[in-house]
Amino acid sequence: MAEYGYLKSFVALLMPGLELNENNTECGESPDFVVNLENRRIGVEITDHYSDDIDVNGRPRQATEADWESLREAIMDRVWRDSVLEKTEGILEFKGLEVPRKKEFGQFIEELIQLARAMLRSHHDVSGINEEYPLLKRYLVRMHLKSAECFISWTWNYDSGWVGLTEEELIKTIGRKTTLADNYRADMDELWLVVVEGYKISQGMGLFLERYLEGFERVDRLLSESRFERAFIYQYMHGVVYCWPGWTKVGQEKLTETIKGSS
């Protein structure tokens, strides 16, 4: 059952040391689970997030994917032939949903390689973009880079075939559950909602969601008026949880293995 797998990994990230088992977890419906935590019965509803078919500019998501994949292939061809950078993990944080044109690839990648080497020399995991890298500065906000033990394809803040989270999409995901929650069983001390970004392309939200969530006033109002005392966005593939109220971030972006049995 994929939902239980998500619940276990979510709890392990949010509450290290607590292991769910048949003695402290009930499976059912309305909500999906009831977890006994410190003599309190916590109802937990798990729901998957799915993004729309077009991006916020009305452009088909597949077109945005193709632009990025072309650039990523060119970047990794250069990175994996570089003895200094070949085993690194990089995240490019773009200003918006626009990548360089193909005729700009050469200069963009050259500046990127120079910046990446400078970051490794200075032992900086995160770097803003200054005037020394004019083409990077046109497209990027910052770059994240760290050493890895294997060959890892670099990513961007809209990766996995999607183009970021919008408030309308999140309202669509949450709204269904806030309506149903009015009829959930009453024998619980708290009710939690966990919105899962899974491993499928259509589930993607983007990275570094803290930049967006704080401004989602309609989402905040929707949750405040619902039965849910707490709500969470769980980015399973990245090992990150955002906790409402306040959207506090737990964890740091990384890659996680797919849950077996998920579909």
Asked whether the predicted pLDDT for residue 187 surpasses 60, the reply is yes
> pLDDT per residue over 69-126, tens digit each?
899 999 999 999 999 999 999 999 888 777 898 999 999 999 999 999 999 999 999 9
Residue with tokens 């392309």: 201
Both tokens assigned to 58: 């009305």
Q: What stretches of 95-139 adopt beta strand conformation (E)? A: 126-128
User: How many Å apart are CA 144 and CA 226, to the nearest integer?
Assistant: 37
Asked whether the predicted pLDDT for residue 46 surpasses 90, the reply is yes
Q: In whole angstroms, what separates CA 136 from the centre of its chain?
A: 23
Q: Please state the rounded mean pLDDT for residues 5-30.
A: 90
Q: Please state the rounded mean pLDDT for residues 29-43.
A: 91
pLDDT at residue number 73? 94
> pLDDT per residue over 106-118, tens digit each?
999 999 999 999 9
> pLDDT per residue over 151-174, tens digit each?
888 988 765 544 567 788 899 999
pLDDT at residue number 36? 92
105-122 helix and 61-79 helix, angle to the nearest 10 degrees: 60
Task: Kindly report which listed range (37-41, 62-66, 142-146) carries the lowest average pLDDT score.
Answer: 62-66
User: How many Å apart are CA 17 and CA 31, to the nearest integer?
Assistant: 24
Q: In whole angstroms, what separates CA 70 from the centre of its chain?
A: 22
232 CB-contact burial (10 Å; exposed 0-12 / middle 13-18 / buried 19+): buried
pLDDT at residue number 156? 81
CATH topology for 2-51+164-251 is: Trna Endonuclease; Chain: A, domain 1 (3.40.1350)
Q: Where in the chain is the domain with CATH 3.40.1350?
A: 2-51+164-251
Question: Following DSSP, what letter does each residue of 48-87 receive, concatenated?
Answer: E----SB-TTS-BHHHHHHHHHHHHHHHHHHHTT-TTTTT
In this structure, are residues 200 and 160 in contact, taking their beta carbons and an 8 Å threshold? no
pLDDT at residue number 207? 76
pLDDT at residue number 164? 62
> pLDDT per residue over 206-261, tens digit each?
777 887 898 899 999 999 999 999 999 999 988 999 999 999 999 987 755 444 44
Residues with Cβ < 8 Å from 225, sequence gap 6 or more?
Answer: 178
Q: What stretches of 118-189 adopt beta strand conformation (E)? A: 126-128, 140-147, 155-156
217-224 helix and 167-181 helix, angle to the nearest 10 degrees: 10
